[in-house]
Structure 1
Amino acid sequence: MAGGLLEDVEALRGRLGGDLLPFALPRAGDDRGALRELTGQLDDYVLPRLRAIDAPLLAVVGGSTGAGKSTLVNSLVGADVTEPGVLRPTTLVPTLVTAPADAPWFTAQHILPGMPRVTGGDGNPGRSPDGSAGRPVLRVVVAGALRPGLALLDAPDIDSVVTENRALAAQLLAAADLWLFVTTAARYADEVPWGYLREAGDRSTALAIVLDRVPPEGARVVAADLARLMRENGLGGARLFEVPEVALPEENARLPAEVVRPIAEWLSGIAADAEARAQVVRQTLAGALAGLATRVPALADAVDRQLAAERELRRAVTAAYDEGMARFDAGMRDGALLRGEVLARWQDFVGTGDLMRGLESRVGRLRDRLGEFVTGRPASGARLRVALESGLESLIRDAADGSAERAYEAWSADPAGRDLLERAGVGAAGRLARAAQDLPERAEATVRAWQGYVLDLVRQEGQGRRTAARLASYGVNGTGLLLMIAVFASTGGLTGIEVGIAGGTSVLSQKLLEAVFGDQAVRTLTAKARDDLRRRVRVLLDEDASRFTARLDAVRPAGDAPGALRAAASTLRTHLPAVRHG
């Protein structure tokens, strides 16, 4: 039990510090309960014990309601340190009874560090020392008759009608070096106590069972049957003490000293013998570590399920926004942008009469005409550019809105995603169902930046001597508009007369550009412009998707957590032989 074990356990505890189970999966409630138990035992018992291996032992007196736990504690220490009663639940505030020499250890926050201490008085169930509602408190009482080396803790009932009491009883038992488990001749076969006793056996916890209120006429039969149950449940090596049924002179009176003497002498012997204490520590600590080595891999499996759920939610967002990008691509190619206002402004820009009808026979004259209808229509060019901006921005907004809606619906249909949306609150979740509020402004900036990129392409391509002369004559802005139109050079999705007009529009822009740059250069320029636009829109959609993925990033367990937990469990196993054998 050297420092290496403590360092390894501390490293494991560090791995459990974050939220490993953030998503609302079908088994998440049970998994979170197991995690709480695991971290609780580390904090309350394993780490304090490893940090002070020779510290006094803690014997927790546990059992069913009305079994006589408090009366037994009072009788063992020869003083009324706890308050037994007939009301249910009986023990409301856990009371730790310690020898004067050990009081500094137990009043400090070593074991059970999350429980505030009170000394003297009756305590106040469910209250912090200042009287406010909060964590349960631990009442510490000093008893001069108790031998140093071992303290007794009177725990709440394991079958209390109060849920918080049951949870507290389980927590205290998990923090014990030694269990002194009290049952009665009438209730020794009840299932609830045996659930705890089997757990103690599975974890090799040092344990003694006190069979209380045994009637003389049934003592042999009851004790023999309880011993049988102990063997069948793997507890054949545990000590069994019998306390006969005694007629007490008054309510809450202590048991006669001779009745509890065997138990008191056994506890005193452990307290006085360093080797006996060490044996108890080795047994219980090894059992706790072996339990951790089993439970930690199960926790790793739970984290794997969490990460799988996170990946599924992330895939849903990716699919939703990929579909939005595909719809944008379709809108860019199907001629939709050449409808309505863009089409009307194009006609204003280049005219459609004799030029459109004589296009094929007079392509050679386009170079001469281009300067006229490109440089001669600055106002119509500006209106065409605005119409293109508006149409393109609308296409981007539609793609983003549709993507957000699909992602929201996918999350709403998934328990983990639905829980994340509910935690976001009604207002924030509702906003996720559509594109971000500032997307229209960002879409506008994106389109204008793309138009600037297109104009830069035109300038760069026109740097040759002959091309530069034509470009200087025709104008960068006008030629840039032709290239923007060429990006949407398809008529899919249009019908009737729109096909002819839009088709003519695309062909005309293509031919005019070829008149300036040549056909190969036009194909290259068009591909570059289209790819750049797609890249910019993809960035916009990814930014909008980040409203979903940021919520996953904020709660997602570390991807290496399952592997690290399994490695920690494997490391704990390597320490077990040394712990068991000292």
Structure 2
Amino acid sequence: MTSRNEHDDHARPEPAAGAVALLEGVRDGLADVTLPLALPDAEHARLEAASAVRQLDDYILPRYRSLDAPLLAVVGGSTGAGKSTLVNALVGHPVTRAGAIRPTTRQPILLHNPSEAAWFEGQRVLPGLSRIRGVLAGGNVPSSRAGAEPDVGAMSSLVLLADPAVPGGVALLDAPDVDSISDENRKLAGQLLAAADLWIFVTTANRYADAVPWKLLLNAAARDIMVAVVLDRVPPGAEAEVSEDLRALLNREGLGGAQLFIIPETTLDPMGMLPEGMVRPLRVWLEDLAADTAGRSDVARRTLNGAVRALAERVSRIAQAAREQQRAAAGLEAGAVSAYGDAAGRIMEATRDGALLRGEVLARWQDFVGTGEFFRSLEQNVGRFRDRLGAFFRGEPPPAVRVEAAIETGLQAVILDEAANAAEETDQRWRADPAGRRLLGTDDLSGASAGFADRAAAEIRAWQEALMELIRTEGQGKRTQARWLSFGINGLGAALMIVVFSMTAGLTGLEIGVAGGTAVVGQRLLEAVFGEDAVRRMAEKAREDLAVRCRRLLDEEQQKFLSRLPDRQDIADSALTAHADALARLAGSA
């Protein structure tokens, strides 16, 4: 008997080694697929990815690594079709349990020639199923008590049974019912059929057109797998009619090459066995296949290539699902970015349309510069204006900080209001989308975040400090320095803030005489100290700095939405698309 290690160490051609490397990469890529967004096809695509990983582990990778391993013939079919009875007949004695209680086969049994035990004792195929070494029953055990006791807890194990009656080169696997009342049985049956080199599909004369078996048979056609169909319990005299109808169905669905075997309706013997010779044609076909090394190799390669071709199509569909995830995530992200970008625009618009020069800010500024007497000074020449201001500032300390505080309060209110508007808009957009709604869950993000008001206030104060530093930097020349020192840094800063908030003020009517006139005072004051060009430059720089800070505040705030989006790598499709193309080339090269 050849050892397991000797089988594993068989040298394989370089193309096969390259194929294995590709398939291992595909397997890892599929295992990483999450598709986290709640899109209509996401759940199906996730199930497809998991199923593809299982088939790679159970069949495709093992077969590529061991092209000379025995064929695995899975015996499958509908409930009560007689699968276990057929398996017992093929080996000539009861080895697997048959009977009327459903489901009979819970624990799959793999029958192999004793000389080929090493191929199946390890985890080469179906690695997710643990191994149990079975023992052949004596000759007096009927089929109703043969094999393993039905055990719902044994679904994750595979009973290995060495039997000299199984020809070397082919192993038989008795699978659960494909339409079992047990969900776990159905899943396991599908998994085992996906791991097969060939199928022996058992159906009956009154159930051969059922939908569930045909769904699996169509899957076999897509994989180009070799199929032998056993039509069981055919009433006397109906063989020709039923077999002709079944053959027509097979031809129509692309399975015209399937072997068809007929088992007439008959009475089982006391051991629960079919009469000797009833399955002789099927047994001879299996023995001939087992004895034909080249034929077995052709079957293995044909099934393997079909499985890879089907896998390529499956991976392509999963890649499409990943692209849909990307589009959905991009749409949700764009919705949030747009809402917060619009909010930033509205904040800056509020700082230029004169809105902030009304109310408390206007009152504090007028308190600072005086009212009628100060405005009348605008009619005097610049020198006299400067002297009067200098005298004013050198008196009792002016309340410039009140202007700064009023500006901070007013600007903070605008920022908070627009952040709340952006949050509400984004929340509504996301909740209108199933994927966004799932990401938000029961959390309410429709207002400004806790602590945002403090962050906004701190950012405004930082902007005001930067504005003061801008004035200091601009007034470095000795002559200018004397001027701005005479006016006072806080007073100039307050004036510059007023100018910033009125750069393109769209004021009309009586407001021109109040807010507009107020801005003119500040601008004249600054121009008297720094000159017209410098004032324009400082105001533009201060305004740009404010815009950057507001945008940064809102960028940070929108992260409460964007942080819920999946990592781009989790929904990337580029590797999947490349893998699908490579798999198609691999299947086409054989």
TM-score (norm 1): 0.90
Give 2:329's match in structure 1, choosing from 299, 303, 310: 310
The 5-angstrom pairing of residues 362-441 of structure 1 reads 363-376=382-395, 378=397, 380-422=399-441, 426=442, 429-430=443-444, 432-441=445-454
Q: Does 1:339 align with 2:358?
A: yes
Q: Does 1:565 align with 2:565?
A: no
Equivalent in the alignment of 1:545: 558
Equivalent in the alignment of 1:532: 545
Q: Does 1:15 align with 2:34?
A: no
Q: C-alpha separation between the residues in 2 aligned to 1:257 and 1:555?
A: 63
Equivalent in the alignment of 2:125: 111
User: Aligned pair in 2 of structure 1 residues 506, 177: CA closer, same or farther (>3 Å)?
Assistant: same
Query: 1:375 offset after TM fit, Å?
Result: 4.8
Equivalent in the alignment of 1:286: 305
Equivalent in the alignment of 1:487: 500
Give 1:149's match in structure 2, choosing from 169, 177, 181: 169
Q: C-alpha separation between the residues in 2 aligned to 1:126 and 1:421?
A: 39
Query: 1:4 offset after TM fit, Å?
Result: 1.4
Equivalent in the alignment of 2:137: none
Cα deviation per residue 1:414-452 (whole Å; 9 max; x = unaligned)?
Answer: 122112222xxx2xx21x322332322321221122112
Q: C-alpha separation between the residues in 2 aligned to 1:491 and 1:294?
A: 60
Equivalent in the alignment of 1:133: none
Q: C-alpha separation between the residues in 1 aligned to 2:395 and 2:262?
A: 112
Give 1:297's match in structure 2, choosing from 300, 316, 322: 316
Q: C-alpha separation between the residues in 2 aligned to 1:125 and 1:435?
A: 57
User: Aligned pair in 2 of structure 1 residues 148, 461: CA closer, same or farther (>3 Å)?
Assistant: same
Q: C-alpha separation between the residues in 2 aligned to 1:126 and 1:369?
A: 98
Determine if contact 1:118/1:137 at 8 Å carries over to the other structure.
Answer: no
User: Aligned pair in 2 of structure 1 residues 378, 107: CA closer, same or farther (>3 Å)?
Assistant: farther
Determine if contact 1:374/1:479 at 8 Å carries over to the other structure.
Answer: no
For structure 1, the residue ranges without an aligned partner over 5 or more in a row are 130-135
- Report which stretch shifted further, 450-459 or 342-351: 342-351
Cα deviation per residue 1:380-430 (whole Å; 9 max; x = unaligned)?
Answer: 1222222222222222222222111111111100122112222xxx2xx21
Q: C-alpha separation between the residues in 2 aligned to 1:309 and 1:302?
A: 11
Aligned letter for 2:225? T
Cα deviation per residue 1:231-277 (whole Å; 9 max; x = unaligned)?
Answer: 22222222111222221245x81223322233233323333443232
Determine if contact 1:490/1:503 at 8 Å carries over to the other structure.
Answer: no
Query: 1:147 offset after TM fit, Å?
Result: 3.3
Determine if contact 1:81/1:141 at 8 Å carries over to the other structure.
Answer: no
Give 2:527's match in structure 1, choosing from 504, 514, 539: 514
Aligned letter for 1:567? A
Q: C-alpha separation between the residues in 2 aligned to 1:414 and 1:62?
A: 43
Cα deviation per residue 1:530-571 (whole Å; 9 max; x = unaligned)?
Answer: 000000111111111122222224366454x24x33333332
Query: 1:69 offset after TM fit, Å?
Result: 1.0
Determine if contact 1:487/1:530 at 8 Å carries over to the other structure.
Answer: yes
Query: 1:31 offset after TM fit, Å?
Result: 3.0
User: Aligned pair in 2 of structure 1 residues 104, 386: CA closer, same or farther (>3 Å)?
Assistant: farther
SS at match of 1:404: helix
Equivalent in the alignment of 1:246: 266
**Aligned residues: percent identity?**
50
Query: 1:158 offset after TM fit, Å?
Result: 1.8
User: Aligned pair in 2 of structure 1 residues 518, 197: CA closer, same or farther (>3 Å)?
Assistant: same
User: Aligned pair in 2 of structure 1 residues 477, 125: CA closer, same or farther (>3 Å)?
Assistant: farther
Determine if contact 2:322/2:571 at 8 Å carries over to the other structure.
Answer: no
Aligned letter for 1:74? N
Q: C-alpha separation between the residues in 1 aligned to 2:107 and 2:392?
A: 93
Equivalent in the alignment of 2:280: 261
Determine if contact 1:349/1:373 at 8 Å carries over to the other structure.
Answer: no
Equivalent in the alignment of 2:586: 575
Cα deviation per residue 1:42-61 (whole Å; 9 max; x = unaligned)?
Answer: 22211121122222322111
TM-score (norm 2): 0.88
Cα deviation per residue 1:315-367 (whole Å; 9 max; x = unaligned)?
Answer: 11111111111111122122232333322322222211311244234544221
SS at match of 1:2: helix
SS at match of 1:546: helix
For structure 2, the residue ranges without an aligned partner over 5 or more in a row are 1-14, 135-146
Determine if contact 2:30/2:50 at 8 Å carries over to the other structure.
Answer: no
The 5-angstrom pairing of residues 77-156 of structure 1 reads 77-120=91-134, 122=148, 127=153, 136-145=155-164, 146-156=166-176
Cα deviation per residue 1:82-130 (whole Å; 9 max; x = unaligned)?
Answer: 3333234443333333334444433433222333444558477554x7x
Equivalent in the alignment of 1:49: 63
Q: C-alpha separation between the residues in 2 aligned to 1:378 and 1:108?
A: 90
User: Aligned pair in 2 of structure 1 residues 197, 309: CA closer, same or farther (>3 Å)?
Assistant: same
Query: 1:578 offset after TM fit, Å?
Result: 4.7
User: Aligned pair in 2 of structure 1 residues 536, 151: CA closer, same or farther (>3 Å)?
Assistant: same
User: Aligned pair in 2 of structure 1 residues 142, 214: CA closer, same or farther (>3 Å)?
Assistant: same
- Report which stretch shifted further, 80-89 or 384-393: 80-89
Equivalent in the alignment of 1:236: 256
Query: 1:224 offset after TM fit, Å?
Result: 2.4
Q: C-alpha separation between the residues in 2 aligned to 1:473 and 1:406?
A: 49
Determine if contact 1:411/1:418 at 8 Å carries over to the other structure.
Answer: yes
Determine if contact 1:106/1:140 at 8 Å carries over to the other structure.
Answer: no
Q: C-alpha separation between the residues in 2 aligned to 1:197 and 1:491?
A: 75
Q: C-alpha separation between the residues in 1 aligned to 2:76 and 2:48?
A: 21
Q: Does 1:227 align with 2:238?
A: no
- Report which stretch shifted further, 50-59 or 482-491: 482-491
Give 2:238's match in structure 1, choosing from 200, 203, 218: 218
SS at match of 1:19: coil
- Root-mean-square deviation (Å): 2.6
Query: 1:282 offset after TM fit, Å?
Result: 0.7
- Report which stretch shifted further, 114-123 or 281-290: 114-123
User: Aligned pair in 2 of structure 1 residues 83, 378: CA closer, same or farther (>3 Å)?
Assistant: farther
Query: 1:152 offset after TM fit, Å?
Result: 1.9
Cα deviation per residue 1:430-482 (whole Å; 9 max; x = unaligned)?
Answer: 1x322332322321221122112111110111012221111122222321221
